[in-house]
Chain A
Amino acid sequence: MKLEDLRRIREKAEREMKLREGKARIKIIVGMGTSGIAAGAREVLKVFLEEVEKRNLKDVIVTQTGEKGLASHEPVVEIHEEDKPIIVYGNVTPELVRRIVAEHIVNSNPVSDYVIEVRE
């Protein structure tokens, strides 16, 4: 093995372990209360995970939280980004997930039609 090989292994393994660092540029939080799950939050979360993996987004983590009290808008997803207000999406579908990842996460353009709250 050469030093470059070690660094390649390191990069790959770091990606697998990024959750444990607790720091990421962007945190995607899916509301997974009972009503969220009933409205399809599990599928939404899975698609987020797939998209993040597919696009090899290194500093993005996907996680979940409990009920947020916005039952009529479930599934609800919050995007936490360093030094920016929190963007909350409602009625999220797998198709919307792909748009959020492509437009918001990668290109920093929130999908405004589906934003239900912007929190400072």
Chain B
Amino acid sequence: MPKRLDVLICSGAACISNNSQLIRKKLEEVIAKEGLQEEVAIIETGCMGPCELGPVMLVYPDGTFYIRLKEEDVEEIVKEHFLKGRPVRRLLWETPEARKIAEEKKQIPFFEKQFKIALANCGKIDPENIEEYIATGGYEALGKVLTEMKPEEVIDEIIKSGLRGRGGAGFPTGLKWKFTREAQGNEKYVICNADEGDPGAFMDRAILEGDPHAVLEGMAIAAYAIGAKQGYIYVRAEYPLAVKRLEIAIKQARKYGLLGKNIFETGFEFDVELRMGAGAFVCGEETALIASIEGKRGQPKPKPPYPAQSGLWGKPTLINNVETLANVRHIILSGASWFSSIGTEKSKGTKVFALSGKVVNTGLVEVPMGITLRELVYDIGGGVPNGKKFKAVQIGGPSGGCVPEKYLDTPVDYESLKELGTIMGSGGLIVLDEDDCMVNIAKFFLEFTMEESCGQCVPCRVGLKQMYDILDRITRGEGREEDIELLEKLGKEIQTTSLCGLGQSAPNPVLSTIKYFREEYMEHIKERKCRAGVCQFKKEEKLETAIEKIKDII
């Protein structure tokens, strides 16, 4: 029976680690005590976005948005709000811009500029209940392609939509489908790349946790388009909640006949299995990922042949990222022209970003392509906290680069970010302020890629280590005059000679910080000065004082 209040508790990993489960338990208790069980529904959803403010809770029909809940707040909320209709104002979001309490979720600037496609259901439905997904039009798109469209028509629609891979490289998704369809072979596979490894990026996890069926449906549509019967989701074992919800989703989809044989009685068959990755960063690279599924060591292979020709077990294989697949059903249902009306000329649709670092509102946001970095950082992110000065925004994780203030009005799309020396990447977006040292930031990311290098090719294995050592001595105050040029030379060589994307992009954080913040490197080397006060230099002693000291001792 429908209730009069739907209480949505965020059960994304961030809110769970902030004890949202305790809140839920307490809610159930108090609601039972007040005899409201028949009137109030409690629903656990995926990530709602503003992770910084967790645990968060959304109460419909009014859209009341509670933040930073504690167990002891629950009784008051139930008695005042659920029973008497008076929202507990002290627990609502006071937006700093307006110094105003937002009575409804839609009044909150953090949500206002967002446009949700891939995250449409995250924070709105119970991800462990397939019927809630179906209520949002779930599996309609699969029904439509199976009953009304030829595989070629599906591929055409995806090509026309302009959807590009959301894992980072931005390859046109429809073309990938076309190449895999056209490849020779009667056995083909679909793989969902859920090996999200960039530090600070968690959009794929949020989708898997919050709307797992959208990914399954995207895979099934892709399978129909390319002619595959079997799919694999390669997901990190460090994402236990995502794994659990995927397992539930697969089980439910099988039970409802939406995976398995003869789907919608059309004769089409497709099933999905999970494969757990142990967490090597390089396994996000598609050929390494395939090797890992095959039970081999996760190392990339030279391309061509591309997976579309020879992928899993040598068969033609389509490999798409989680966020890419989550867009598919919306394109089928609302049409390619709708999707391509959003975004810029070459980058269509939306992109999910994980906002973190020195920004007021951290969390997950989905915005139309073409939004400016300034809007992302200031309007949605709420700007830099504590009155500090903005310095740069780091985009694209360890494969990306830093963008300084003067380029903040750049529209976000694949091409313009590349021009700035960074990449869209998976969508990590870290805001840096005056207290961040750019040399140290570059060192941080390089340390990550150096450690994650698989060691197969020399430029990546040896080159990154050399770059790291140089950065390390600069941050210790032992940098040499020629170090900046050496870093640039090494970086460019590693970019052009590495085997896979890891090595090809690993120098980006270093090269982009040199490009925009060269003076900080110079200060470290020439003046032994770190303007952010991050790097600690040993004091140099003059020879005379040292002799004096020794004399004292003698």
Mark out the residues of chain B between 384 and 433 whose CB falls within 8 Å of any chain A CB in the assembled complex: none
For A36, give the chain B residue with the smallest CB separation. Answer: B84
Q: With both chains docked as a complex, state the minimum distance between the C-beta of B262 and any C-beta of chain A, in angstroms.
A: 10
Q: Does A99 contact B (CB under 8 A)?
A: no
Q: Does B240 sit at the interface, judged by CB under 8 A?
A: no
A1-60 at interface with B (beta carbon < 8 Å): 1-3, 6, 9-10, 12-20, 22, 24, 27, 31-34, 37, 45-46, 49, 52-53
User: With a CB–CB cut-off of 8 A, which chain B residues contact A2?
Assistant: 264-265
Question: Inside 8 A of A20's CB, which chain B residues have their CB?
Answer: 6, 8, 60-61, 124
Q: A22-B60, A49-B2, A66-B84 are in contact. List 10 more A-B contacts (CB 8 A).
A: A2-B264, A3-B264, A16-B135, A17-B132, A19-B61, A20-B61, A49-B1, A52-B2, A53-B1, A62-B4
Known contacts A1-B264, A2-B265, A6-B140: does B4 contact A61 (CB below 8 Å)? yes
Known: A1-B257, A63-B62, A66-B86. A16 touches B39 (CB 8 A): no
Q: How far is the CA of A17 from the CA of B62 in the complex (A)?
A: 14
CA distance A10 to B136 in the complex (A): 8
B1-13 vs A, Cβ < 8 Å mask (1 yes, 0 no): 1111110100000
| Chain A positions within 8 Å of B62 at CB level | 22, 63
B139 touches A6 (CB 8 A): yes
Nearest first, the 3 A-B pairs at minimum CB distance are A13-B135, A64-B85, A1-B257
Does B60 contact A10, Cβ atoms closer than 8 Å?
A: no
Task: Tell me the smallest distance from the CB of B222 to a CB of chain A, in Å.
Answer: 19
Contact of B256 with A by CB under 8 A: yes
When the two chains form their complex, are residues B140 and A49 in contact, meaning their CB atoms are under 8 A apart? no
Contact A37 B83 (CB under 8 A): yes
B3: which A residues are within 8 A, CB to CB? Answer: 19, 49
Residues from chain A with a CB closer than 8 A to the CB of B501 are none
Which of B4, B5, B61, B131 is the one whose CB lies under 8 Å from A9? B131
- Bound-complex Cα distance A90 to B218 (A): 52
Closest to B82 in A: A64
B134 touches A65 (CB 8 A): no
Which residues of the other chain, B, contact A13 by a CB distance below 8 angstroms?
Answer: 131-132, 134-135
Closest Cβ of chain B to A107, distance in Å, is 21
Confirm or deny: B120 has a beta carbon within 8 angstroms of a beta carbon on chain A. Answer: no
Q: Which residues in B have their C-beta under 8 angstroms from that of A24?
A: 61
Given the interface contacts A9-B131, A37-B84, A46-B39, does A16 sit within 8 Å of B2 by beta carbon?
A: yes
Chain A residue at smallest Cβ distance from B36: A42
Asked whether, in the complex, the Cβ of A19 is within 8 Å of the Cβ of B131, the reply is no
Does B38 contact A61, Cβ atoms closer than 8 Å? no
Q: How far is the CA of A18 from the CA of B5 in the complex (A)?
A: 10
CB distance from A52 to the nearest CB of B (A): 7
Q: Are B85 and A49 in contact (CB under 8 A)?
A: no
Q: How far is the CB of A14 from chain B (nearest CB, A)?
A: 5
Chain B nearest CB from A61 CB (Å) reads 5
Q: What chain B residues lie within 8 Å of A46 (beta carbons)?
A: 38-39
23 A–B contact pairs at CB < 8 A?
Answer: A1-B264, A1-B265, A2-B265, A3-B143, A6-B143, A6-B264, A10-B134, A12-B131, A13-B134, A16-B135, A17-B135, A20-B6, A31-B85, A32-B85, A33-B84, A37-B83, A49-B1, A49-B2, A49-B38, A61-B61, A63-B5, A64-B85, A67-B84
Asked if B143 and A53 sit within 8 Å, CB to CB, the answer is no
> Is B137 in contact with chain A by the CB < 8 A criterion?
yes
What A residues does B257 contact at CB under 8 A? Answer: 1
- Contacting pair A19 B60 (CB below 8 A): yes
Known contacts A19-B3, A22-B61; A32 and B131 CB within 8 A of each other: no
Distance to closest chain A CB from B77 (angstroms): 14
CA distance A31 to B83 in the complex (A): 10
Query: In the complex where A3-B143, A19-B60, A22-B63 touch, is A10 in contact with B84 (Cβ < 8 A)?
Result: no
CA distance A20 to B63 in the complex (A): 8
Chain A residues, Cβ within 8 Å of B132: 13, 16-17
**A residues in contact with B6, CB < 8 Å:** 17, 19-20
Beyond A20-B124, A49-B38, whether A10 also contacts B2 by CB under 8 A is no
Closest residue of chain B to A12 (Cβ to Cβ) is: B131
**Is B456's beta carbon under 8 Å from chain A?**
no
Q: Which of B87-138 contact A (CB under 8 A)?
A: 124-125, 131-132, 134-138
When distances are taken between beta carbons in the complex, the residues of chain B under 8 Å from A18 are 2
Chain A residues near B264: list those with CB within 8 A. 1-3, 6
Could you tell me the distance between the alpha carbons of A13 and B137 in the complex, rounded to whole angstroms?
10
A53 lies within 8 A of B134 (CB): no
Question: Which B residues are CB-close (under 8 A) to A45?
Answer: 4, 39
Q: What residue of chain A has the Cβ atom nearest to residue B146's Cβ?
A: A3
Given the complex of chains A and B, what is the CA–CA distance between A1 and B139 in angstroms? 11
Please tell me if the beta carbons of A19 and B39 are within 8 angstroms of each other in the complex.
Answer: no
Task: Find chain B residues with CB under 8 A from A53 CB.
Answer: 1-2
CA distance A100 to B360 in the complex (A): 49
Is A64 within 8 A of B84, CB to CB?
yes
